[in-house]
Structures are given as structure tokens and as C-alpha cells.
Amino acid sequence: MITNLAPSPVISPTPLVGKTILVTRSVGQSSQFAHSLTQKGAVVIEMPALEICQPSSWEGLDNAIANLSDFDWLILTSTNGVDYFFERLFAQGKDARSLTKVKVAVVGEKTAQSLKQRCIQADFIPPNFVADSLVANFPDKLAGKKILFPRVESGGREILVNELSAKGAEVVEVAAYQTCCPSSIPPGAELALQGGNVDVITFASSKTVKFFCQLAERIFSDNSLTNCLEGVCIASIGPQTSKDCRDLIGRVDVEAEEYTLDGLMQAVITWVVNSRDN
């Protein structure tokens, strides 16, 4: 007996047509994400809510690199950490061979890809793209291990360091880069927000939420940010970013199931498709 099945629904290759999406990633890091959204039909407005710059001092990182043989593991949790770590490694006349006896753990596929571009394969990538998952699934006994953790100078989460230390590891934290709020707002982004012409705002980190809110205060003056963004979809890359959205904006409408930029885009697409169906 042959059963006639209903045809599968046709998914548009451009499901974001008619939607304007504000991207808040830092300068130099938003282009690929913005391009992907544009390919899906969206009008993309870039409003960098984060600037990446060198730390106030290289001393800690330079000293750690000079003594790399003392470490069992190097942990990198962002492409920024990778970029600045290798900048200082090369500045000392060293190269990837200096890491021959050091195992490398990374959080996130993008971080792993950035590492791979430097001809280094990560020894460990946790199954979920969050720092908490790294500790829970760490492939080595942590007691007695010495770990180098190049990270943002200030404002980063402490859970990774705390949990590694609780399991007996000696964690050496060194500032590899700093984040700050941009001094200006792109005119196109300001006009779009003022005119209520934004459908979705995407946040890929907690810092972008914080700095976006600081910038938005200049745009909306004394008006409530929650009221000014009424009807705008607030889209988050993961749980911690969502928490900051709730704390500072009052809500989050979309959270990526996979904590990556691709996951964030898919979550936005699902929201758009569902909102049209409803």
C-alpha cells in the first residue's frame, strides 16, 4: 500500500526579508555575521557596542609566555584571547612550537578555528560552547595542574577560574586584551532606533548588552529603554547574555540553542518565521 505524504513545507532561502536587524558586535568582528544575515534577506545595521584594545599592561602575559614550559594547559575562551596571545608570543620571537608541551583547551568553534589558522589543533573543546562546560568535561585531572588563562582585563566572569581552582588547579590569569564602550554611535543606527525602524537586536556577549544600554541612553535620553524597545525582538547568544538582557533591558525574546553566531541566526530565523505564522 502506498501512502501519499503531504509535501514538506518549502523553507524560503531568504526568511529574513522585510526585517531590519541591528548587530552589536565589535568593530572588525561583525562583518561575517552581518553578511550571513544579509544573505538570508535581512537589512542589517551595524552598531558596534564594544571596542577591543590592548590591556593596560603586557607585563603579566609577557612573563607567562616567557615561562610557557611551566604550564600544563593553556585555556583560550575567545578569538580575542587567541589573537592577543599570539601577538605577544610573536613579539618575543617565539612561535607555535613553544606550545609543543602545553595542552590547549578552547571554548567555542570560532575560537578553535582561530587557533587552527595558526596551525594548532585544540586538545580539548567542550561539548557546549560555554565556560561552565569546559570544567564539567575537562579531560584531565585538575589537581596539581598549572593553567594559563589569558583573558579580558576586567569584567569577565569568574566562574571558570573559581571552579578550576576548586578542583585543585593553579590558575594564572593574565590580561590579554580589554573591552570598552565605543565613544560614538553610527548615525544610521541612531536614526533607525529613534525612528522605531529596528525589528531585531542581536547580542553576542554580556558586554555588548551593557555597552549598548549605555549608548542607547544617549539616544533615548530620559525615556525608559524598555518602553523605547517595545516591539523589538531582543535576541541573545546564550544564558549569561540573556541574564544581562533581562537585568538591563527587562526581557529577552530569543535565545540561541547552540551558543554560536550560527545558532543566534537560526534562533532569529525561527522567531521571524513563527511570528509570521502567528
Question: From CA 265, how far away is CA 138, in angstroms rounded?
Answer: 29
Cell of 168: 585543585
How many structural domains comprise the chain?
Answer: 2
- For residue 74, the domain's CATH number is 3.40.50.10090
Q: Are residues 117 and 223 in the same domain?
A: no
User: Per-residue pLDDT for 159 more than 90?
Assistant: no
Confidence of residue 4 (pLDDT cuts 50, 70, 90): very low
Using a pLDDT cut of 70, give the percent of the chain over it: 93
5 belongs to a structural domain: no
- Identify the domain containing residue 188 by its residue range: 20-50+182-277
Q: Which one of 157, 180, 203 terminates a domain?
A: 180
Choose the final residue of a domain: 131, 149, 180. 180
Query: Does position 97 have pLDDT exceeding 80, yes or no?
Result: yes
Region 23-46: what's the mean pLDDT?
Answer: 88
- Establish if 244 belongs to a structural domain: yes
Once rounded to an integer, what is the mean pLDDT over residues 33-42? Answer: 95
- Are residues 157 and 186 located together in one domain of the fold? no
pLDDT digits (tens, 9 = 90+) for 179-234: 999 999 999 999 999 999 999 999 999 999 999 999 999 999 877 888 899 999 99
Q: Indicate yes or no: pTM above 0.75.
A: no
The C-alpha cell at 86 is 599570539
Determine the residue type at 10.
V
Is residue 182 within 8 A of residue 211, CB to CB? The reply is: yes
Same domain, 74 and 109: yes
Residue 6: pLDDT band with limits 50, 70, 90 = very low
- Domain boundary (151, 180, 209) is at 180
